[in-house]
Structures are given as structure tokens and as C-alpha cells.
Structure 1
């Protein structure tokens, strides 16, 4: 497996990341449309982070840069999206861990805020929490959905880290073994 990771091109890493993003969105949409679970504002922001990472992976797979700089750039961009998702999921878990008397009151719905307020103020209000984000609507194996989302983002982080690792390790003319292809 280590040899496969060493030889994987940016396209290979990116297709794995894109497939994982598609799977995460399929689960989220399945829970919403088949399971009847309405996403809270933080859930929606986490979906945006998944989609952003997926877009970066799709562009990276299409471009498939051969040099170190391209792989590093796509690694950093996708790591930014995945890191944002990790932060959002962590914040969501923190809200769910608050005692009932410390949970912030529910504010207006995200649709209403998007229509009336500037985007910066909407983001600020969502990150400062809403009571609906503190509700635990479902558990699986003892973890709430934001817990599973955090695990998903942590697993997804392997891809941009792999892209960065590959970019840092690749050198012109350097081979891991005699029969390994060069960049």
C-alpha cells in the first residue's frame, strides 16, 4: 500500500477524494430526503465544505499537474476546505455538548437570513450558534451526526495530506526504487 501511495499521481489522489466527497454528500442527502432529517445551519455549512473540497478534487483530477507546485497547491486548497469542515463539525459537537440552560436561543431560519442579511453577517450568526444546531436528532453507534461528519472529514484529510506529502517527497530524478516511474 505504501508503494501505491508513493506512485499515485495527483489524479489518483484527487479521484479518491472526490469519490469520498460524493459519498459524504450522498449520505447527507439520503438522511435528509429518505430519513426525514432537516439539516440545521451548521449542517448546511458542513455540506458546503464537502462540496468545496469535492470541487478542488475534481479540478485537480482534470488538471493532473505533473510538477510539485500543482500538487502542493491542490493539496493546500483541499486541506483548507477539509479543515474548515473539521472546524464546523467540531463546533457543532461542542454546541451539542452544552447543558440545556447554556444553549443559545433559536434564531431565524437560514433561508430567511440569506434573503435579508449580508453573507458575512449570516456566517457570523450561524457560527455564533443557534439552538436548533444543539439538538441531537439522530445517533448511530452512540455518535451524533456531527460526530460522524467529523470522522468523515478526518478520513478525507488523508487525501490532501497525501497530495502534500507527494509534492514534498517528489524530486526531479529521484526514484523510490529502480523500477518506480519518475514524475
Structure 2
């Protein structure tokens, strides 16, 4: 493995680690519990970190490919989540609003009582009109580019 490839892998895996630390800080220090889609976005970052660690010891090109796929997976989930937040499409029924027309009062009460505490279709925080999911998508695409650069480095 070249020094440049090692640096790119460390930067890409470190970027996923930084995003995970940020998400955990928002959750545990900022008191912002994650929704279901937020949790789904975290898993590929954890996998990318694992690929980065393994790449430093063995199979750097294969691990870089895995890291790139993990980053693109997170970006895709975050893009889907952004669309749910903006109302472009319906999110999972377990964490999104489904409307109340044609629902009896008892059924509505049961839906309210069974609803998760954190909804996927509400934006709890944003910066420059972009939600955390949107920022995660952009950052994950940048990380995927770093993984690709590491993969292509000879």
C-alpha cells in the first residue's frame, strides 16, 4: 500500500468516525434522539470504519471498494430520509405521519400511543436549510469519493 493510499483510507474511515461521533454528540449531549432512518444511516458508517481498519493491515483495494459501497449506502439512505423530511415521498409507516382521515377516535388514539417518540418526517435540526440527513448525504458522497481515490491509487 502506498502512503497516499494509506492517507486516503485513513481520511475516509476517519470521516465516517467523525460523522458517527457527531451523531452521538447530538444524541447524548444535545438530547436529540435519532429516528429509525437516522439509525439506519449509522450502520454503513460503522462498516466503513471497519473496512478502513482492515485496509491498513490487509487487502487495501478490496477494503477501499467496501468502504466506498458503505459510504454510498449511507448517502442513499440519507437521500431517502431527506425526501421523507421534505415530503417528497412517504417514509416508513413506523416513523412517519400517515394522516387521520377515515380513522375512528379509538384507532387514532391507538396510533398515537403506538407512535415512536421521534418521527422520520420531521426535521429536528438544520443548518443553511439542510437537515442532518442532507448534510450526512453530502458528507457521505465526499467520503465515497475519497474511498474511490484510494481504490484507484496505485
TM-score norm. by structure 1 comes to: 0.65
Distance 1:95 1:104, change over 3 A: closer
In the alignment, the residues of structure 2 paired with residue 133 and residue 163 of structure 1 have an alpha-carbon distance, to the nearest angstrom, of: 34
Unaligned runs of 5+ in 1: 1-6, 64-69, 109-129, 171-183
Q: Which residue of structure 2 aligns with residue 107 of structure 1?
A: 94
Larger radius of gyration: 1
Give the one of 19, 26, 35 matched to 1:31: 26
Higher relative contact order (CA 8 A, sep 6+): 2
Q: Which residue of structure 1 aligns with residue 98 of structure 2?
A: none
Structure 1 contact 42–92 (Cα < 8 Å) conserved = yes
Q: Which residue of structure 1 aligns with residue 80 of structure 2?
A: 91
Q: Which residue of structure 2 aligns with residue 42 of structure 1?
A: 37
Stretches (4+) displaced over 6 A: none
In the alignment, the residues of structure 1 paired with residue 37 and residue 48 of structure 2 have an alpha-carbon distance, to the nearest angstrom, of: 17
Tell me how far 1:74 sits from its aligned partner.
1.6
Structure 1 contact 92–133 (Cα < 8 Å) conserved = yes
Q: Which residue of structure 2 aligns with residue 74 of structure 1?
A: 63
State the Cα RMSD in Å.
2.3
In the alignment, the residues of structure 2 paired with residue 18 and residue 105 of structure 1 have an alpha-carbon distance, to the nearest angstrom, of: 29
Tell me how far 1:103 sits from its aligned partner.
4.5
Number of residue pairs aligned between Structure 1 and Structure 2: 132
Structure 1 contact 106–132 (Cα < 8 Å) conserved = no
Tell me how far 1:45 sits from its aligned partner.
0.9
**For each residue in 1:82-124, what CA deviation from the matched residue of structure 2 results, as whole angstroms up to 9, or x when unmatched?**
111011001001111217xx7557527xxxxxxxxxxxxxxxx
Tell me how far 1:35 sits from its aligned partner.
0.9
**For each residue in 1:50-107, what CA deviation from the matched residue of structure 2 results, as whole angstroms up to 9, or x when unmatched?**
11111101111233xxxxxx333122111111111011001001111217xx755752
Q: Which residue of structure 2 aligns with residue 136 of structure 1?
A: 123
Q: Which residue of structure 1 aligns with residue 142 of structure 2?
A: 155
Pick the structure with more helix per residue: 1
